[in-house]
Amino acid sequence: MAFNNAVSLTSSMLVVIFSSVLLSSCYFDISEAGDDPPIVKGLSWTFYESSCPKLESIIRKQLKKVFKDDIGQAAGLLRLHFHDCFVQGCDGSVLLDGSASGPSEQEAPPNLSLRAEAFEIINDLRRRVHKKCGRIVSCADITALAARDAVFLSGGPDYDVPLGRRDGLTFATTNVTLANLPAPSSNTTTLLSSLATKKFDATDVVALSGGHTIGISHCSSFTDRLYPQDTNMDKTFANNLKVTCPALDTDNTTVLDIRSPNKFDNKYYVDLMNRQGLFTSDQDLYTDKRTRDIVKSFAVNETLFFEKFVLSMTKMGQLTVLTGTEGEIRANCSVRNSDNSYLASVVGQEQEVVTLSGF
Ligand code: HEM
């Protein structure tokens, strides 16, 4: 928090940014118009229109209340959707508690820093939605809508989310989870090739990394850049971080975007241009020639960033989704229905009633 005051846009920074715009517009077509994102078979823009018309308003109204108390929860929900989609697709698998088959995705190292409250918020939203509409809306869809509202309610763009995802019956192993979520120590080469396996291009990689315009990180995610000090990090920024994280294993946290930590805006890219990106995976986007001009174009044109972010998020939100009769609609986002003893007893009772009434 102390960094907020320590860093402000000085005129020299502005010169850097504006001279870069002139340069960047030569290489990167910032006027490139975004088309409506295509949607995969089985999802629809109007999926719950007649079966649960209040779905989106229930979620938005509740999240407004949640964020009024603690805007930090918005970041937790955005990251939760990312971690759900990148591992085994947007199937709510990250929400599942462990089972006899082994440790859940939640227990894999990158997921240990997901906020416990994010899981509770999703289950609370699920309860509200199912109370109104019955068990017809999946936890995966609720997570996608919560991420959208997290973006919008913290100042970012509003956008439609294609719906109709179903919840998965399995979760990924620790190794699969690790293989699909890039480490913060990744350079751009690693990020580009890792995300290319999911059909994301360089613009997607830079736009999605813009999710780091809100939220926090634990010291352990970036102290490799402090001890020894990464020469590609602004010195004052590094010194301030060392105060928060005096040793490699300190358990403190700091904000991801020093200029506007709770606002979804394009300041993250301004941070990168001033060598104040927190992770190697962030800062290297400005160092690497393949992504540098995209960073610059987003730093000077927030509308362009929002437009590309929406396209990339819509793409991310449709990664290997289950639709139709695949998977299930969980009655509790943390437990699959077959492991849900309460549900089993309710279904049992229902079956009994059906059987009895059949006589
Ligand atoms: C591109 C590769 C990415 C890497 C390497 C990465 C890595 C990380 C790490 C290490 C943290 C901090 C964890 C901690 O120590 O507490 C973090 C936080 C966060 N990430 Fe990413 N991330 C990436 C992509 C994304 C994407 C695509 C989004 C969303 C669109 C996103 C949204 C967030 C948010 C909102 C937080 C803050 C969470 C909170 O405050 O609870 N990240 N990320």
pLDDT-derived band at 98 (thresholds 50, 70, 90) equals confident
Residue 339, both tokens: 């492991």
CATH of 3-316, one of 2.40.30.10, 1.10.520.10, 1.20.1600.10, 2.70.98.90: 1.10.520.10
Q: Is 87 annotated as a binding residue?
A: yes
Count Cβ atoms within 10 A of the Cβ of residue 55 and give its class: 0-12 exposed, 13-18 middle, 19 or more buried: buried
| Distant-in-sequence, close-in-space partners of 317: CB < 8 Å, separation ≥ 6 | 81, 85, 90, 144, 147, 161, 162
3-class state of residue 282 by DSSP: helix
Give 148's contacts (C-beta < 8 A, 6+ positions apart): 158, 159, 161, 313
pLDDT value of residue 36:
65
Report the alpha-carbon distance of residue 337 to residue 254 in Å, rounded. Answer: 38
Distances (CA, A) of 145 to 77, 141, 183, 201: 10, 6, 26, 24
Query: To test the ligand 1 pocket, which listed residue (79, 193, 249, 298) has its Cβ within 8 A of the most ligand atoms?
Result: 79
Residue 97, annotated as binding a ligand:
no
Q: Are 312 and 305 in contact (CB under 8 A)?
A: no
Q: Give the per-residue pLDDT at 282.
A: 98
- Is 130 considered catalytic here? no
Distance from Cα 181 to the centre of ligand 1, integer Å = 10
pLDDT, tens digit, 9 for 90 and up, residues 282-330: 999 999 999 999 999 999 999 999 999 999 999 999 999 999 999 999 9
205 or 7, higher pLDDT? 205
Query: Is 89 annotated among the ligand-binding residues?
Result: yes
Cβ(212) to ligand 1 under 6 A? yes
What is the sign, positive or negative, of the torsion defined by CA atoms of 39, 43, 47, 52? negative
What are the tens digits of pLDDT across the range 16-71? 444 444 333 333 333 344 456 789 999 999 999 999 999 999 999 999 999 999 99
Residue 208 to residue 202: CA distance in whole angstroms: 10
For ligand 1, atom 25, name the residue with the nearest CA.
Answer: 209
**What is the per-residue pLDDT across 250-272, written as a single tens digit (0 to 9) for each?**
999 999 999 999 999 999 999 99
Distance CA 80, CA 82 (A): 5
Using 50, 70 and 90 to split pLDDT, how confident is the model at 280? very high
In angstroms, rounded to a whole number, what is the distance separating the alpha carbons of residues 304 and 276? 22
Question: Residue 185: CB within 6 Å of ligand 1?
Answer: no
- 217 Cα: distance to centroid of ligand 1 (angstroms): 8
Cα–Cα distance list, 286 to 236, 253, 296 (Å): 19, 24, 8
- On whether 291 is known to bind a ligand per the annotation, the reply is no
Closest by alpha carbon to 322, among 105, 8, 41, 27? 41
Residue 71: the pLDDT is: 98
Confidence of residue 344 (pLDDT cuts 50, 70, 90): low
Using the atom order of ligand 1, give the atom closest to the CA of residue 219: 15
Q: State the pLDDT at residue 307.
A: 98
- Note the pTM of the prediction, 2 decimals: 0.89
Per-residue model confidence as pLDDT tens digits over 147-205: 999 999 999 999 999 999 999 999 999 999 999 999 999 999 999 999 999 999 999 99
Closest among 339, 4, 310 to 161, alpha carbons compared: 310
pLDDT digits (tens, 9 = 90+) for 202-231: 999 999 999 999 999 999 999 999 999 999
**Per the annotation, does 56 bind a ligand?**
no
Atom of ligand 1 nearest to the CA of 218: 15
User: How far does the centroid of ligand 1 lie from the alpha carbon of residue 79, in Å?
Assistant: 6
Q: How far apart are CA 283 and CA 245, in angstroms?
A: 19
Q: Is 75 in the pocket of ligand 1 (CB under 6 A)?
A: yes
Cβ-defined contacts of 339-347 (< 8 Å, 24+): 339/99
304 CA distance to ligand 1 centroid (A)? Answer: 21
Closest residue by CA, ligand 1 atom 7: 184
Answer whether 238's CB lies under 8 Å from 228's CB: no
Ligand 1 atom with the smallest distance to the CA of 256 is 37
Does ligand 1 have an atom closer than 6 angstroms to the CB of 191? yes
Is the pLDDT score of 2 beyond 70? no
Which one is predicted more confidently, 341 or 260? 260
pLDDT tens digits, one per residue of 102-154: 788 999 999 999 999 999 999 999 999 999 999 999 999 999 999 999 999 99
